[in-house]
Structure 1
Amino acid sequence: MLRYFLAITFLASFINAQIIPRDQLFSDPKYSSVSLSPDGSIIAYLAPNEKGISNIFTKCVTCQHTKVVTFDNKRHINGFQWTGVPNVMLYYQDLDGDENYKLYKLNITNPSPQNEPHVISDRPGVKAAIIANNLVDRRVLIGLNDENPAYHNVYELDLYTNEMTRIFHNKRFPPQIIVDNDLQIRLVAEEADDGSLIYLRPSSKANPRKLTSDKDTWVQYLKVSPEDRPLTIPIAFNANNKRIYWQWGAGTDLGQLVIHDFGHPEANEILYSAVKAQIGAVLFHPTDHNVLALSEVYHKPEIFVANNTILDDMQYLVNLRPAATPVIESISLDFHTWLVTYVSDDRPFEYYLYRRWQQKAEYLFTTRPELVGQKLNKMNGFSFQARDGLQLQAYLSLPPQSALLTPAQVNGTDIELAKLGILPIEPQPLIVFVHGGPKARDVFGYSSTNAWLTNRGYAVLQVNFRGSVGFGKKLTNAGNGEWGRKMHHDLLDAVNFAVGKGIADKNRIAIMGGSYGGYATLVGLTFTPDVFACGVDIVGPSNLITLLETIPPYWSGFYKDMTSMLGADIKTEEGRESLKSRSPLFFADRVKKPLIIIHGANDPRVKQAEADQFVDALKNNSIPVTYVLYPDEGHGMRKPENNLAMTGYVEDFLHKCLKGDLEPFKQGQYNSSAVVMASADKPEEPRLKTLSRSSFYRRATYYKAPESTQILRDSVFVGDIFSNRL
């Protein structure tokens, strides 16, 4: 009788749940990429203008005056950086998701549509990247693949004169270039035949102002084994550039923060050894470059303060919002003013300005003010064992109105699960949302995707399967060669756990993901066609052979790492057979359940052909599928109208499959570019020819010391095929 009463209570609360409109969740945030100027006087951020195009806005810290400083009505601005010259910033844009970034310099003193930014690079087919920017110098280092798409030359840009001087003529090294605080190139890296990563430093023959990639101008600094590569990364130099900080993987699973005299990597001084998860981010003093704090994230972020320098400050910030985690986004060079984000699961990111000399924080804004007061989901972390005994971490987000079992109503190990709040009274329709990468991870915090799906009545299960990062090199390396094998088994084991604990209704489970998560979706519907009720594939590869054959040029420098991760090489017949055996394309005839495929025509990482060929294979077997193509997008949806339309298509699809709540959607509702290439309801649709481009390149970014945990843009698509090289 009690069970019946509780079920009725659950049903009533579910019916009374208010549908949150998609445009409140997936329009561009009112504030994103928020950053404090080096002198602490101005806050800059990206926001949509009156035409919905993302531009740069600034807000005066003392006067609160806000103004727009860019005036682009056609192309969204992807990102920006302050520089060491007052009121001067750099910003970059690409064309329809092709990731060939164009770079501009902007003076924001007197912004006007008539004040054109200075063009640093806008050449077609050339990808510009900011290699180094120390926020104090009149110079910055810029990378351009202007001679060979696989390699970036390095230029020194004078921000006063706009003069560009090439300081590194590069014909050899992939985009992993380590620079010190004085903007001197100190290390480069390249793969060895055995998959190790070799760091090299300039030899005595090298001219630091005119570096080349000639072999006699570089000498080996450190050789990192394939097993240690996920955890061994140079982070930053100390103030006088004589010592270098590393995240270090040798001899440890979770890694350590170490420092050694430059040139003596054998003489590490251990500063911190990770306890439960890998080091997530390191916070450095802006001028003396000492370590102030770092974080680990297992289920939730944990902050470890290095010394007394900021102990009182961090304690104040933690006490200010005990239910959220403070993240230091920016610190002024005088150390007085901090930009702080608070991260929690059930509310969007909130920004505060902390004035250190007053030990007082002032609330600034939330990224999505329209969601204030809405009841959003909680995100609960838990652990479970895979079938081979490997311990895995996962997150479960339940609909906010779900009635839960209490610890008193269960026994045994379920008591702890009930304390976590992850045992609903009735099994839920469940979506297994698979992260991209796969060398990435799901993390705790607000997600528009989770807020949307749980609001529609679905539970969301996110699994950090083997191959993910953040939980030690053993877990990451355990994914090598296991695409379509044990990595998929981990997802199945998580599903079995959820069904066994009464969390999920076994007849209403969907699989969904982007990039690698899209591949996992196709694997789920082909290799285990009876497990999932339906699947959502967003920019996922269907054929591992063609995925490797079409990698962007500057992934070629990390080819060994890719083949190690995939467990096979297309250059051998054995390797091709192995990749074929794990490619959903060759098993398309097994698909039984509804499938929607979404792709961007300009995707430089997972080509449109990956979707086309799978759809063709389904049609050849008379298997219905819905295929939506966006001609002006790349690896995910950047434009808000396309993002909204994508979520509309997916929501309608999930409603038909899992019977959750629905905000009505019709084709053309958001004026997106979407082209329905195939529809499960209409067997034949006109085909749009593949949009051809002369070349596809991938964004190169260069590792620099993280100032804080990075807050990702909260869109429906999160992930990347090889995100460790972002």
Structure 2
Amino acid sequence: MNLLTTIAFLCAAFFSTTASSQVLTPEELTDPAGMLRASLSPDGRHIAAIIFNGLNHGLILIDTDTLAVKKLIQGKRFSKGYWSYNKAPRDLTWADNDLIAIDYGYDAESIDLQGKRVRMLGDAVLGRVDSGPNAGQLIVMRDEKNDLVARCHARTGECTRFSRPPGRVIQRAFDRQGNLRAVTLVNSAFFKDVSTISNWYKPADKETWTKLAEFSVTDEYWIPVHVPDEPDTLVINSRIGRDTHALFNYDIQQRRQTELLAGHPTQDIVSWGGIDKAAFDYVETSGMLPQQVWFDPAWALMQKQIDALLPGRINVISGDPARAVLVHSHGDVDPGTWYFFDIAKKSLVTVGKVMPEIDPARMRPMEVISYKAADGLSIPAYLTRPAQSTGPAPMVVLIHGGPVARDRWEWDADVQLLANRGYLVFQPQFRGSSGFGRRFEQAGFGQWGKAMQDDITDGVRHLVSQSIADPRRICIVGASYGGYAALWGLVKTPDLYRCAISFAGVTDIEYMFSDASDRVGDKVSRETMTRRIGDKKMSVQLFDPVSPLKHAARIQAPVLLMHGKDDERVPVSHGKKMRDALAANGKPVTWLAFDEEGHGLLYVKNRIQYYEAMLEFLGKHIPPQPLQTPAAAPSATSH
């Protein structure tokens, strides 16, 4: 296949690019401008794309034959009384070759190829039906507050509403005709001793819903994925009876999971879907390097061809493998590039970039490594090395939140900034991380400050023993649970770290059960916390011994605490309590709070300030330049 010369970035009306040096700046890494969404029309003649120039979102239309660009929608700000809001496209779905459904974040409409409104649709568009008598119609959230879903004709506005059993919906499954046929509900009424998860099914020719199974919210449960054409059959995602999430057939009559359709012995299947909302055509695994598997031979062959043209990336494809394909290609050194692949012309053309200012050639690759924990458990990790590193490098230990979450093989602004400035970046996927199976995940239950922390420690000592990390220049950094782990690392292993940075970190586990967070008022969250962290009635035995706040006097290394003032997940009071406890004990602490920010940083100016504070703090305590005086490696004392 011939690879045509890459065209200039198509959105010149919305973007401007500047030459950049080898030093990455916080401004470059936080520039929000780029092509955020793109979708190929069913006939392959047009690409609709949502772009952002730093101020406004816009919708453009690209002719795939001529590559001509037409602006369809320009975001606008409206004021009504005391209210001010943006009306700007946030997502898009092709309803037909000449009709696009646009989501604005609070309502949705269909427009023609001139940008003229055709119909108002509802609160949001969930997907398109691409087969059967309802082909071209949309699955629409008509009323998000009451969770009313319908199948709607984007041209006429006519809708067929779907009924459902009472309860909070967390999963829906459709058949290929776009009919809602299965749901998973959460019921957590105050009078129930334990919140429940229930799965329900409705035959195509009836309006009656039947409960197939019910579980405690803390049990292993399955969810419906797709309703195939075979009668009395569901496709479900489950790890009941096995370690990893896999896809199975489910027999409606016998109420049991049957044939294994897709699974991996050590990786969860974390996503699935197809070219439209009501299809089931591929799966993706959750390994350290994700894998995509297509069930259709034509799509599998196309994936192989695209992967050969764009190696070392995750290439998400859509369109028609016989005519034209849109590729969203991304990976560790590229936040995302959109390509159009014309089958007849055998050409692959760049049509847009997620972050045009980011040059993949200046980024550092993420390596996949593993090491043994003290009890023999194998711990996977990502390692990103600075360029031109000679000898042991200063290291930032970057801990993910959750803790039932994980890092991924993808472009990460924090990682790239640190590696660019001369730091080795270590991201351990300690026990309790998700995506590696039930046993690995549940091995972290009740292990805050214990085995999960030891996994981090063992990884640091491994890299020191291999002369990869400089033992005199190691700082531990994290957000949310990662912030907790950073602070506890200074208490538990004071010999290991020269400093710590905590953003939105939990500082006292007992306090998590009574603070003003959104978890405390949610019954399901409280039950899940008890299952995964421990019973608050056992605080003295379980939580106090591993509380950074209650052991602040033992911290010796400098601490940088940062927090959003409007954080509802881990309230800013966690950070303030830790700040005051460190100051009261004469410990070196720096405090930075962000206005109008929650459990993350939304505003570019605050993200820049965060990076500047982090770089200044690290440069002071673990400078990238080698130290002159020798020091012994950390001791191998037991945990």
Instruction: Say if 2:316 and 2:329, in contact at 8 Å, map to a contact too.
Output: yes
Higher strand share: 2
Calculate the TM-score normalised by the size of structure 2: 0.80
Aligned-partner residue type, residue 211 of structure 2: V
Instruction: Say if 2:139 and 2:149, in contact at 8 Å, map to a contact too.
Output: no
User: Where do 1:58-207 residues align within 5 Å?
Assistant: 58-62=60-64, 63-67=67-71, 69-72=73-76, 79-82=90-93, 84=95, 87-93=99-105, 102-105=106-109, 107=111, 109-111=113-115, 134=129, 136-138=136-138, 140-142=140-142, 144-145=144-145, 153-154=147-148, 156=150, 172-173=167-168, 175-180=170-175, 182-184=178-180, 186-190=182-186, 198-201=197-200
CA displacement, residues 265-318 of structure 1 (integer Å, 9 cap, x when unaligned): 425221223144222433535488353x43334332334443523233122112
Q: Which residue of the partner structure matches residue 450 of structure 1?
A: 415
Q: Which residue of the partner structure matches residue 310 of structure 1?
A: 299
User: Where do 1:587-606 residues align within 5 Å?
Assistant: 587-606=551-570
Instruction: Say if 2:288 and 2:368, in contact at 8 Å, map to a contact too.
Output: yes
Aligned-partner residue type, residue 93 of structure 2: W
User: Where do 1:97-496 residues align within 5 Å?
Assistant: 102-105=106-109, 107=111, 109-111=113-115, 134=129, 136-138=136-138, 140-142=140-142, 144-145=144-145, 153-154=147-148, 156=150, 172-173=167-168, 175-180=170-175, 182-184=178-180, 186-190=182-186, 198-201=197-200, 208=207, 219-221=211-213, 223=215, 226=218, 228-229=220-221, 232-238=222-228, 243-262=233-252, 264-286=254-276, 289-291=279-281, 293-328=282-317, 330-331=318-319, 336-356=323-343, 360-372=347-359, 374-403=361-390, 426-496=391-461
1:610 paired with 2:610, answer no
Displacement, 1:187?
A: 2.0
Q: Which residue of the partner structure matches residue 660 of structure 1?
A: 624
2: CA distance between counterparts of 1:303 and 1:388? Answer: 33
2: CA distance between counterparts of 1:548 and 1:176? Answer: 28
Q: Which residue of the partner structure matches residue 82 of structure 2?
A: none
Displacement, 1:67?
A: 2.2
CA displacement, residues 240-279 of structure 1 (integer Å, 9 cap, x when unaligned): 7853222221222233322234454425221223144222
Aligned-partner residue type, residue 447 of structure 1: D
User: Where do 1:32-71 residues align within 5 Å?
Assistant: 32-37=36-41, 40-49=44-53, 52-62=54-64, 63-67=67-71, 69-71=73-75
Q: Which has the higher contact order (CA 8 A, sep 6+)?
A: 1
Displacement, 1:396?
A: 0.6
Aligned-partner residue type, residue 659 of structure 1: P
Q: CA RMSD in A?
A: 3.7
2: CA distance between counterparts of 1:78 and 1:594? Answer: 45
Instruction: Say if 2:40 and 2:48, in contact at 8 Å, map to a contact too.
Output: yes
Aligned-partner residue type, residue 274 of structure 2: F
Gap change, CA 1:508 and 1:642, over 3 Å in 2: same
Aligned-partner residue type, residue 279 of structure 1: I
Gap change, CA 1:649 and 1:339, over 3 Å in 2: same
Q: Which residue of the partner structure matches residue 18 of structure 1?
A: 22
Q: Which residue of the partner structure matches residue 626 of structure 1?
A: 590
1:544 paired with 2:509, answer yes
Instruction: Say if 1:221 and 1:263, in contact at 8 Å, map to a contact too.
Output: no
CA displacement, residues 47-80 of structure 1 (integer Å, 9 cap, x when unaligned): 433xx22513323142430426242457696942
2: CA distance between counterparts of 1:369 and 1:376? Answer: 13
2: CA distance between counterparts of 1:133 and 1:241? Answer: 23
2: CA distance between counterparts of 1:618 and 1:76? Answer: 46
- Structure 1: where are the runs of 5+ without partners? 1-16, 94-101, 122-128, 146-151, 212-216, 404-425, 662-726
Instruction: Say if 1:48 and 1:54, in contact at 8 Å, map to a contact too.
Output: yes
Larger deviation, residues 444-453 vs 392-401: 444-453
Instruction: Say if 2:125 and 2:138, in contact at 8 Å, map to a contact too.
Output: no
1: CA distance between counterparts of 2:126 and 2:541? Answer: 39
Kindly, what percent of the aligned residue pairs are identical?
25
Alignment partner of 1:322: what SS? coil
Gap change, CA 1:163 and 1:452, over 3 Å in 2: same
2: CA distance between counterparts of 1:308 and 1:164? Answer: 35
Aligned-partner residue type, residue 486 of structure 2: T
Instruction: Say if 2:477 and 2:502, in contact at 8 Å, map to a contact too.
Output: yes
- Structure 2: where are the runs of 5+ without partners? 1-20, 78-84, 131-135, 626-639
Larger deviation, residues 376-385 vs 176-185: 176-185
Gap change, CA 1:510 and 1:309, over 3 Å in 2: same
1:499 paired with 2:464, answer yes
Instruction: Say if 1:433 and 1:462, in contact at 8 Å, map to a contact too.
Output: yes
Gap change, CA 1:495 and 1:79, over 3 Å in 2: farther
Aligned-partner residue type, residue 523 of structure 2: S
Aligned-partner residue type, residue 200 of structure 1: N
Displacement, 1:444?
A: 1.6
1: CA distance between counterparts of 2:615 and 2:119? Answer: 41
Instruction: Say if 2:170 and 2:186, in contact at 8 Å, map to a contact too.
Output: no
Gap change, CA 1:444 and 1:76, over 3 Å in 2: farther
1: CA distance between counterparts of 2:368 and 2:193? Answer: 37
Gap change, CA 1:184 and 1:632, over 3 Å in 2: same
Gap change, CA 1:314 and 1:173, over 3 Å in 2: closer
**Among 554, 564, 570, the residue aligned to 2:531:** 564
Instruction: Say if 1:53 and 1:76, in contact at 8 Å, map to a contact too.
Output: no
Alignment partner of 1:466: what SS? coil
1:638 paired with 2:602, answer yes
Gap change, CA 1:254 and 1:141, over 3 Å in 2: same
CA displacement, residues 657-700 of structure 1 (integer Å, 9 cap, x when unaligned): 21138xxxxxxxxxxxxxxxxxxxxxxxxxxxxxxxxxxxxxxx
Gap change, CA 1:117 and 1:499, over 3 Å in 2: farther
Displacement, 1:467?
A: 0.9
Q: Which residue of the partner structure matches residue 16 of structure 2?
A: none
Alignment partner of 1:369: what SS? coil
CA displacement, residues 533-569 of structure 1 (integer Å, 9 cap, x when unaligned): 111212222233343444437853354223211122x
Displacement, 1:607?
A: 2.1
Alignment partner of 2:382: what SS? strand
Q: Which residue of the partner structure matches residue 97 of structure 1?
A: none
Displacement, 1:456?
A: 0.1
Alignment partner of 1:585: what SS? coil
**Among 496, 510, 522, the residue aligned to 2:475:** 510
Aligned-partner residue type, residue 269 of structure 2: I
Larger deviation, residues 133-142 vs 19-28: 133-142
Aligned-partner residue type, residue 89 of structure 1: A
1: CA distance between counterparts of 2:56 and 2:379? Answer: 38
Instruction: Say if 2:109 and 2:121, in contact at 8 Å, map to a contact too.
Output: yes
Aligned-partner residue type, residue 91 of structure 1: D
1: CA distance between counterparts of 2:68 and 2:373? Answer: 53
Alignment partner of 2:467: what SS? coil
Gap change, CA 1:298 and 1:652, over 3 Å in 2: same
